[in-house]
């Protein structure tokens, strides 16, 4: 499903305009992004939890040349599926 298809589906399911659905989607993604940048979690009971995790610096290998490379430490976004969503998908 693309962003446009998601906006269409949300607009139809909520009975709102596509413009309002697009604005709500943008607000949601910007809010989740801002909270993750601060190191906070965003929990939607039954749906899932957005969080961050730190990855330590490590050694890697360039697959095309075979040379060793250094991979810098980073912070990555994670999503853990909630029980209701997991059950609905199964």
All structural domains of the chain with their residue ranges? 1-39, 41-90
pLDDT of 8-67, one tens digit each? Answer: 999 999 999 999 999 999 999 999 999 999 999 999 999 999 999 999 999 999 999 999
Instruction: Give the pLDDT score at 16.
Output: 97
Instruction: Give the pLDDT score at 88.
Output: 95
Q: What band does 69 get if pLDDT is binned at 50, 70 and 90? A: very high
CB 48 within 8 A of CB 85: yes
Q: By three-state DSSP, how is residue 45 classified?
A: coil
Alpha carbon distance 52, 42 (integer Å): 10
Topology of the domain comprising 41-90: HU Protein; Chain A (4.10.520)
């Amino acid at each position: 499903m693309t962003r446009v298809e998601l906006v269409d589906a949300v607009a139809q399911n909520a009975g709102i305009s596509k413009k309002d659905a697009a604005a709500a989607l943008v607000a949601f993604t910007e809010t989740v992004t801002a909270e993750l940048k601060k190191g906070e979690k965003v929990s939607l009971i039954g749906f899932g939890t957005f969080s961050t995790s730190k990855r330590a610096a490590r050694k890697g290998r360039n697959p095309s040349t075979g040379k060793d490379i250094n991979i810098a430490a980073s912070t990555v976004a994670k999503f853990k599926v909630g029980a209701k969503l997991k059950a609905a998908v199964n």
